[in-house]
Structure 1
Amino acid sequence: MLGAEERQEVSAGYPSFVHGIRESDWPHLRLGEEDMRLIQGKRGEHNRLGMGVQLTVLRFLGRFQTDMERIPEDLVLRVGEQLGISDPLAKISVYGENGDTVRNHAREIRQEHGWTSFAEGETQLVAWLEERLKYSTDGPKAMTLQAVVWLREQRVLLPTHSTLRDVVTHCRAGVEDAMFKALVSKMSLRQVGIIDWLMEVPADKRTSRLDSLRRDVGEPSWDNFAKALSRADEIRALGFVDVDVSSIPDRKLAQLADHALTERVPRLREQTGRRAAVLAAIKRLETSALDDAIDMLDKLITERFIAKPKRWADKALVDAYPKFAPDGTLTAQALLAVLESVAESVDHDSGEITDPVTDTSTIRAVLETIAERNTLVLAAKNLLEYMPARDSDTHEARRAKALERFQDVQTLVPVLIDRVRFGASPAGRTALAALHALPPLLDREDVQLDDIDTTLVKGSWKPLVEGDPEQSDGAVNVPAYALCVVETFHRHLCKREIFVQGCARWGNLLARLLSGEVWAQEKPSLLTSLDLPEFPSTYLDLAASSLHADLAAVASRMPEGAQLTHNNGDLALPKGRPPRASSLSRQVQKMLPRVELPQVVLDVLSRTGAIAAFTTRNGNPSPYPEFELSVAAVMVGYGCNIGLEAVANDEKDALKLDRLTSISREYFRPDVIEACTTAMLGAETDALNTLHLDGERLASVDGHSFVIPTPQTGLHIAPEGNSEVTWLTMLTEQAIQLSGRMVSGQPSAALEALNTLTTYRDLTSVRDSRHPEAIVAEAGTHEDLVFGLLTLSGYSYQPTSDQTNDPRLWRIDKSADYGPLQGATRRQIDVSQIAAHWEDILRVIGSIHHGAVSAHDALRILTRNGQPTHLGSAIASVGRIAKTRHLLRLYDNPEYRSGIEAQSRLHKERSDLARRICHGIDGPFPNYYPGLENRLGVLGLVLNTVALFNTVYIQKIVEKMRAQGKDISQSDLRQLSRMMYSHINMRGRFHFEPPTDTMFEIPDLEPDPS
């Protein structure tokens, strides 16, 4: 029976012997030469054994265990075996009887290896915690584990879990209290009064004034857009715009604001720091409310002026098709007949070429064989009526339909100019000036070309703006010009070449890059963390020599006559082929235990100890009996998308609907899901190590796209008028989902990986198997830039050959001879451009790493009108170096190529498994709802449990096969999929019961009939 302290240690993941020692940890615990020297000086085998055990315990726990009876027998036996001591269990009992000897040995080990007591190291720990807590948003549990890492690194003996937790809690409370006081001190008495007034509930209302401010205004409409602007104005009018909170780290401020914006106001009023939290919320709302309004503007312009007119135009074209299709056929036949008649004729026997017949009578006769002249003329005229003009584009019909929305433009433009403060980069200034000049023109009937900016009137806008038949020469079609200006303005706004002052998402991206004193202060630590030099010469010399060496090495191994490139100069990369199902795969599938999905979930939660991650918000274990059954039911209900009602059972307390609903709200938090993932990842890594299948820190990123019929605020609207979201997941080489995030539209998966990894990299002292070093994902557009951003951020970007858009090789050394690769490497990288922009390159990468801008925003900063800026070209040049080296390895190294393709294939198999598990709704989700991200996060956990369950039982099956004489190669093992699911029942009425040792028996090996 575990004591209270041990239960807390297990729940918190604190070093303990409760679950024994993992096999993968034993190599690190083995006694070394220095240990042996210390041990051999002791008299008696029991003293030598005790000293060895104490050294091993210290290495594993980070503290001494003076009660020898609480040390696992396995540890004593292994130490005894290493020391050549017989009957170690008896001798350790003798050793433990003399407490003075045990304590003296512990003191000697401390002195010899430089360990200090916790009492001596507590002051330094507190200072470290206070400094880290100023910036970190981690909870008590995460900070306690980070403190464990720090204490081990500093060789300070760990205290009990409760002692360390109390120190962390006390430091956290002190730092938070100091932050609260700092924020409140920035306000005047009047502003403090406004804060208290916001939390009050008026007598005639049911909600507080703060509640009304934090609610959005509803679905996109022109009236609601005006209300959204009024909400933003109301928030700014509270009088907190000039309150400077820049001394508080952004992450801490965001966490405090999130708390105030989600916590119920009655509870918020009772909490310490409530005024500081409401201030943080107001500062957040000052920007987010305006962002929300511009989000709505973006959706309205896209839907009303682009998507809906396009649907109208497409429908009109489809409706008119029967009217012009026959005329198109007739006109095409006539044209082909004429072209054949005027073509040169060649006598195949003599080779004589006869000039074509071009006289009018002959051509007329040819045409009459198709149809009469008047019929052909009418057909051509009818066809031209429905087709765009020759110098037009495919948008003409849609833009012509958009003119019906001119009344909306007349309403919108004055509101934009009067109520929103816009700014612009050089690329967007012309469009912004045209927008500001538009209101006086909207009601005029005599607008001339000299009154407008004709540089904006391009493509199909030109005939629409200048070709109004009812106007005199030089007159302008005002509705068409107004729509042209609004569409151009919107395009620049989406690129942030026009930005909104006072916004975060729609604000000036360049202004968010680290600069001035902030950059000077942060630069040294960021460069150290990113392993980038301050000056470019060292970096470029190493890059040039590495690229030259790779090109020369691959060229030397090229066989004669090998096809290196396609006609366009792209490298001819070998195409990956999925491996065929081996006999081992078929046999393993037969031997995997037949189970139901709840059994899989319960087995993994119990096996990994992941159930301990499901704590209360205060970090305490759950008080519910049979808690693991409730957690498993919620995971199955949400993971299968069938809801909690389908898994509830009123006959069992742990499965009652009220219990499941409460647990789903209180325990399935993002931090809990992450902690549970960590436990599963550790268990999966151990199992793969046992099978000797551990590899590089490789991760892939891919997404599931959802189309939501009703346009939602904050989501990208597709041309069809639907909202688009993508659930992007990062999958480790161990088949465990590392992260999942709902994003608008279909962004670059590689850049999303950089955003995700930047978040994890915030804890630079904790770099474990959760932190991949290589990324497999699609780059999207601007592939070279993506390569550059990931490479400079310290990651190896490794897309598959199918994910590579532009497989061209580059060189730095113009004079080098690369033999067979000479023609393929004719493009040269200008390293002087990289050197000239090095400081700005560091600033961009540092800003991404610091969290000042996202990788997607950085891409917007580095491009203009679809092309890289000068700075973007410099980063793209860095990317071309990395890409060329990657392409060479793809071409030349089959093992490297197969590893990348296997990871990409693993993600696709996982997507198939996700569709099989999440069967509650076929097709797209009918609507976006708050909490959909958490549902998909739970689906990720269920997928992790299936992958881990399969790995564990594959390991058992392989061990059984080998014990029965089956020869299994590592290459066959690597081809086994951990996403098999034919043995798991995922439908029906589920039954939940704790797993037993005999529940999943492995059958004997059957001969493979093939």
Structure 2
Amino acid sequence: MRSAEERQELGAGYPSFVDGIPESDWPHLRLDGEDQRLIRSKRGEHNRLGFAVQLTVLRFLGRFQTDLERIPEDLVLRVGEQLGIPDPLAKISLYGKNGDTVRTHAREIRQEYGWSPFAEGEPKLVAWLEDRLKYTTDGPKAMTLQALVWLREHRVLLPSYSTLRDLVVLCRSRAEDAVSKDLVAKLTQQQVGITDWLMEVPASERTSRLDRLRRGVGTPSWANFEKALSRADEVRGLGFADVDVSSIPERKLTQLADHALTERVPRLKEQSGKRAAVLAAIKRLETSALDDAIDMLDKLISECFIVRPKRWADKALVDAYPKFAPDGTLTAQALLAVLELVAEYVDHDTGEVTDPYTDTDTMRAALETVADRDTLVRAAKNLLEYMPAQGSDTDEARRAKALERFRDVRKLVPVLVERVRFGATSAGRAALTALHALPHLLDREDLRPDDIDTTLLKGSWDRLVRGGPEQSEGTVNLPAYALCVLETFHRQLCKREIFVHGCSRWGDLRARLLSGEIWEQARPGLLNSLNLPEDPTTYLDRVSGKLHDSLMRVASRLPEGAHITSGDLTLPKTRPPRTSNLSRLVEKMLPRVELPQVVLEVLGRTGGIAAFTTRNGNPPPYAEFELSVAAVMVGYGCNIGLEAVASDEKEALGHDHLVRISRDYFRPEVIEACTTLMLGAESATLATMQLNGERLASVDGLHFAIPTPHPGLRIAPEGSSEFTWVTVLTEQAIQLSGRMVSGRPSAALEALNTFTTYRDQLDASGARQPEAIVAEAGTHEDLVFGLLALSGYSYQPTPQQVVDARLWRVDKSADYGPLQNATRRHIDLSQIADHWEDILRVIGSIHHGAVSAHDALRILTRNGKPTMLGSAIASFGRIAKTCHLLRLYDNPDYRSGIEAQSRLHKERSDLARRICHGIDGPFPDYYPGLENRLGILGLLLNAVVLFNTIYIQKIIEKLRAQGQDIPHNELRELSRLMYSHINMRGRFHFEMPTETMFAIPDLEPDAN
């Protein structure tokens, strides 16, 4: 039986001998020549063996094992074999009898190899933890593993797991208390009273004031937009705008604010840090309330002045098609007849070109072969009536239709100018100035070109504003000009060339970078946390030396006489994975089930039903609640609607009841909590099967399209996408997060934001923190490599995801043999060093949480090209990218591991298409809350993965019990995304699962 400490070490990934030493670690534990020299200095084979065993134990565990009987026999045998010592087990038993010798050898090893006792290294570790905990929201388990890495890197002997964990918990508790005290100390007595007042429930109401403020104002409408602005004004009116919380890291504020904005207020009132949490929530609402209002403005402008008018214009064009199509044909035929007459004549024998000669009579005769003159004139005029004028654009019809909404513009513009404080960059200043001038022009009856900004009249706006059919010469069409200003303003707002003061998402991106005194105070802790130095010289020498070594190693392995003249490194094709006998056998033995049975069993095994609480945190007051949850998941996940899964035979499956359950219990925080439970169960099962591998994670998206003839949503084929449900998959094939974005985003940039956001969720689940990212970079590939490498992540796109496969060098004078021509591009380290201070500020701001990786990329680029600072980060990225390309070329195992993780997303998309098959209840066009529907689909996918993992484990155990040899490599390649055994169509039956619902069939006699 394993002790409690051993179980904790195993679950946390702490180095121990509980499951022996993995085969992959043995090459790193071999004794080199210097080790052998030191070992030979000991007298007696038992002393030499014992010394070598202690050295090997230290390298694997990071500490000495005082009880030699707990050292695996396999380790002793392998060390004895390296030293050529016969009967090593007997010799190690003799060595262990002399405790003084064991302790003396341990001291000698520690001194010889530069290890220090934990007591000496503890103060430095505590200082590092305190710096790290100032900025991170990582949980105790994640921080314990990070502390373990720090100790090994600094050669400090590891303590027991419980000692290190307790130290981390203590430091974390101190850090949280310090943040709460710092925040509350910034408040006056009056402000403290307001925080308490917000948590009170007025006598005439059922909810607290904080509850009311943290709720939104409803669906987008012009009336709700003004309510959203009033909500933002109410938050600012609380009087906390002058409270400066800039000294508190953004992540800490975000964690506290999330807690206050989601926790039940009665429960929040009982907690010690309640005032700090409420203050963080108010500071969040000061920006997010206004962000919510501008989000609504963005949707309203898009819908009312762009989407709907385009729909109307397209419909009008389709309706008018029968009226102008014949005239178009007639006009085209007439034009072709004329062109044929005026064509040059070329003598094919002599090559002589003769100019055409056509008189009026001939021309008239040719036209009359098509139609008479009056008919052609009428056809041409009719065609011009429906076609855009020369010099116009395809938006003219849509813009003309938008003029019908001028009444909404007249109401909206004064509200924007009077109630929202906008700012602008130089590129957006003209549009903002025109917007501010617009209220004074709306009451004018006769506008002249001198009264407006004519530089905004691009494309068809010029004709609509100055050349309308009812316009007298020298006047301006006021509705058209107002719409032109509003459309230009909206376009610049979306680009953030116009921004909103006091906003987060819609604010000035550049102003959010850490600067001034705040940066100077945060710099030491951030750099220590990121392992980035103040002076880049040694750091850049180290990374450039790594690049040099990689180039020399790969060059030395190329065939003699081979030379790569192109700059692109052509990677060898990876052999596609083949379905193994084990995979076919497991798929055959998986129990045949229906999708509701999968959901109910997973909910029962994980306790996932406990995540579905009321908004007040209470358990649901319904009988057979599991059936209701499963029905909602199947109905929405399969895209067949609730009608298809409802039944009048059971109250839990009644249609109205299911609608109520879907509305009240499938909230984002509930889906996230249930995902955490599934992720924990998946990690525990894989650990039991010894299948926790590389700390890889992949970012990709399930793409959706809205077909033109139908308003319903469908999973899109390759190459088309209206919007994307971006997901992050752990190596366990469990979806960690989901987020809706328009189009096809750069997946790699989602990684930095996602992993910092979901660290607590990973830690709570027991899953390991990802260290490497497999995703597409999109545009600015080198910049993405640089941002991720400097942030401490290993960016590992597949060969197919790499856009630019050129190799780079740092050392101009180095001779890389066959790679000499391929590495002719040079990385200028001085450019990186010159911008190092600003590079640190950008990376520190991302790590601090002041800006997202997406916003940082926008700051580092202008008009699609990197700025000088962006070029410096891209140069650093080329070092990381070249090393990655070389490893892809040189290491097949590295490449196959990355491609296997990437394949998970494809397999998961195939499973999603299989599940989301319904056509009677399609997802509608985008509406607020559609993310929850897709979140349910993600939850359903996670349930299938976990169900498969649980039963694959049972099958493997049964096969081994029957004497089958299961190769570990085949076990690792088993897909947990199989679905042929699950029925996902037809009329579903829901019933509570039993303990022994699904049995594993016996192995057939001829199975191999």
Q: TM-score, normalised by structure 2?
A: 0.75
Contact 1:703 1:726 in 2 (8 A): yes
Percentage of pairs with the same residue: 55
In structure 2, give the amino acid aligned to 1:856: H
Contact 1:58 1:64 in 2 (8 A): no
Post-superposition Cα deviations, 1:926-957, rounded to whole Å, max 9, x if no partner, equal 86268557645534533653775798799899
Contact 1:54 1:65 in 2 (8 A): no
2:939 equivalent in structure 1 = 938
Secondary structure of the structure 2 residue equivalent to 1:468 = coil
Contact 2:500 2:508 in 1 (8 A): yes
Contact 1:800 1:897 in 2 (8 A): yes
Compared with structure 1, are the counterparts of its residues 908 and 398 closer, same or farther at alpha carbon in structure 2 (3 Å cutoff)?
A: same
Compared with structure 1, are the counterparts of its residues 578 and 403 closer, same or farther at alpha carbon in structure 2 (3 Å cutoff)?
A: farther
2:860 equivalent in structure 1 = 862
Secondary structure of the structure 2 residue equivalent to 1:437 = helix
Post-superposition Cα deviations, 1:956-1005, rounded to whole Å, max 9, x if no partner, equal 999999989x9x999x9999866443245556557846689983655466
1:777 equivalent in structure 2 = 776
Compared with structure 1, are the counterparts of its residues 228 and 55 closer, same or farther at alpha carbon in structure 2 (3 Å cutoff)?
A: same
1:467 equivalent in structure 2 = 467
In structure 1, give the amino acid aligned to 2:425: S
Q: What is the alpha-carbon distance in structure 2 between the residues aligned to residue 901 and residue 292 of structure 1?
A: 40
2:713 equivalent in structure 1 = none
Q: What is the alpha-carbon distance in structure 2 between the residues aligned to residue 111 and residue 632 of structure 1?
A: 63
Q: Give 1:209-220 correspondences, 5 Å limit.
A: 209-220=209-220
Alignment partner of 1:736 is 2:738: no
Q: What is the alpha-carbon distance in structure 2 between the residues aligned to residue 646 and residue 65 of structure 1?
A: 64
Contact 2:603 2:609 in 1 (8 A): no
Q: What is the alpha-carbon distance in structure 2 between the residues aligned to residue 432 and residue 262 of structure 1?
A: 37
Give the stretch that moved more between structures: 467-476 or 888-897: 888-897
1:704 equivalent in structure 2 = 702
Contact 1:810 1:827 in 2 (8 A): yes
Post-superposition Cα deviations, 1:771-804, rounded to whole Å, max 9, x if no partner, equal 344533151x555654554566566666667656
**How big is the shift at 1:129?**
5.0
**How big is the shift at 1:318?**
1.2
1:254 equivalent in structure 2 = 254
In structure 2, give the amino acid aligned to 1:534: P
Q: What is the alpha-carbon distance in structure 2 between the residues aligned to residue 1000 and residue 35 of structure 1?
A: 58
1:186 equivalent in structure 2 = 186
In structure 2, give the amino acid aligned to 1:861: I
Q: What is the alpha-carbon distance in structure 1 between the residues aligned to residue 221 and residue 998 of structure 2?
A: 60
In structure 1, give the amino acid aligned to 2:362: T
1:332 equivalent in structure 2 = 332
2:313 equivalent in structure 1 = 313
Q: Give 1:445-524 correspondences, 5 Å limit.
A: 445-520=445-520, 522=522
2:712 equivalent in structure 1 = none
**How big is the shift at 1:844?**
3.0
Q: What is the alpha-carbon distance in structure 2 between the residues aligned to residue 763 and residue 664 of structure 1?
A: 18
Compared with structure 1, are the counterparts of its residues 756 and 517 closer, same or farther at alpha carbon in structure 2 (3 Å cutoff)?
A: same
* 1:726 pairs with one of 695, 699, 724: 724
Compared with structure 1, are the counterparts of its residues 797 and 65 closer, same or farther at alpha carbon in structure 2 (3 Å cutoff)?
A: closer
Q: What is the alpha-carbon distance in structure 1 between the residues aligned to residue 626 and residue 148 of structure 2?
A: 28
* 1:534 pairs with one of 526, 536, 551: 536
Secondary structure of the structure 2 residue equivalent to 1:505 = coil
**How big is the shift at 1:437?**
1.2
Compared with structure 1, are the counterparts of its residues 455 and 950 closer, same or farther at alpha carbon in structure 2 (3 Å cutoff)?
A: farther
**How big is the shift at 1:679?**
7.3
Q: What is the alpha-carbon distance in structure 2 between the residues aligned to residue 336 and residue 430 of structure 1?
A: 46
Q: What is the alpha-carbon distance in structure 1 between the residues aligned to residue 240 and residue 336 of structure 2?
A: 74
Q: Give 1:216-365 correspondences, 5 Å limit.
A: 216-346=216-346, 353-365=353-365
Secondary structure of the structure 1 residue equivalent to 2:218 = coil
Q: What is the alpha-carbon distance in structure 1 between the residues aligned to residue 227 and residue 443 of structure 2?
A: 25
In structure 1, give the amino acid aligned to 2:741: S
Compared with structure 1, are the counterparts of its residues 177 and 862 closer, same or farther at alpha carbon in structure 2 (3 Å cutoff)?
A: closer
In structure 1, give the amino acid aligned to 2:271: Q
**How big is the shift at 1:368?**
1.8
**How big is the shift at 1:471?**
3.6
**How big is the shift at 1:186?**
1.4
Compared with structure 1, are the counterparts of its residues 490 and 961 closer, same or farther at alpha carbon in structure 2 (3 Å cutoff)?
A: farther
Q: What is the alpha-carbon distance in structure 2 between the residues aligned to residue 753 and residue 363 of structure 1?
A: 68
Post-superposition Cα deviations, 1:881-921, rounded to whole Å, max 9, x if no partner, equal 87799899999999998877665444222210233345688
1:406 equivalent in structure 2 = 406
1:427 equivalent in structure 2 = 427
1:620 equivalent in structure 2 = none
**How big is the shift at 1:860?**
2.5
Give the stretch that moved more between structures: 383-392 or 508-517: 508-517
Compared with structure 1, are the counterparts of its residues 427 and 822 closer, same or farther at alpha carbon in structure 2 (3 Å cutoff)?
A: farther
**How big is the shift at 1:372?**
1.7
Contact 1:913 1:981 in 2 (8 A): yes
Secondary structure of the structure 1 residue equivalent to 2:428 = helix
Q: Give 1:536-551 correspondences, 5 Å limit.
A: none
In structure 2, give the amino acid aligned to 1:938: L
Q: What is the alpha-carbon distance in structure 1 between the residues aligned to residue 804 and residue 377 of structure 2?
A: 47
Contact 1:118 1:159 in 2 (8 A): no
**How big is the shift at 1:478?**
1.0
1:621 equivalent in structure 2 = none
2:710 equivalent in structure 1 = none
Which runs of 5 or more residues in structure 1 are unaligned? 566-570, 618-623, 710-717
In structure 2, give the amino acid aligned to 1:741: G
Q: What is the alpha-carbon distance in structure 1 between the residues aligned to residue 271 and residue 516 of structure 2?
A: 38
Secondary structure of the structure 2 residue equivalent to 1:257 = helix
1:206 equivalent in structure 2 = 206
Q: What is the alpha-carbon distance in structure 2 between the residues aligned to residue 763 and residue 844 of structure 1?
A: 26
Compared with structure 1, are the counterparts of its residues 240 and 135 closer, same or farther at alpha carbon in structure 2 (3 Å cutoff)?
A: same
1:852 equivalent in structure 2 = 850
Compared with structure 1, are the counterparts of its residues 334 and 681 closer, same or farther at alpha carbon in structure 2 (3 Å cutoff)?
A: farther
1:382 equivalent in structure 2 = 382
In structure 2, give the amino acid aligned to 1:244: D
In structure 1, give the amino acid aligned to 2:209: R
Contact 1:604 1:948 in 2 (8 A): no
Q: What is the alpha-carbon distance in structure 2 between the residues aligned to residue 119 and residue 920 of structure 1?
A: 63
1:438 equivalent in structure 2 = 438
**How big is the shift at 1:862?**
3.2
In structure 2, give the amino acid aligned to 1:859: L
Contact 2:228 2:289 in 1 (8 A): yes
Q: Give 1:877-888 correspondences, 5 Å limit.
A: none
Q: What is the alpha-carbon distance in structure 1 between the residues aligned to residue 454 and residue 553 of structure 2?
A: 52
Secondary structure of the structure 1 residue equivalent to 2:394 = coil
Alignment partner of 1:745 is 2:742: yes
In structure 2, give the amino acid aligned to 1:914: A
Q: What is the alpha-carbon distance in structure 2 between the residues aligned to residue 449 and residue 1003 of structure 1?
A: 88
Compared with structure 1, are the counterparts of its residues 168 and 545 closer, same or farther at alpha carbon in structure 2 (3 Å cutoff)?
A: closer
Q: Give 1:582-593 correspondences, 5 Å limit.
A: 593=590
Q: Give 1:552-591 correspondences, 5 Å limit.
A: 579=576
Q: What is the alpha-carbon distance in structure 1 between the residues aligned to residue 818 and residue 107 of structure 2?
A: 63
Q: What is the alpha-carbon distance in structure 2 between the residues aligned to residue 503 and residue 179 of structure 1?
A: 24
Compared with structure 1, are the counterparts of its residues 368 and 588 closer, same or farther at alpha carbon in structure 2 (3 Å cutoff)?
A: farther
Contact 1:601 1:945 in 2 (8 A): no
Q: TM-score, normalised by structure 1?
A: 0.75
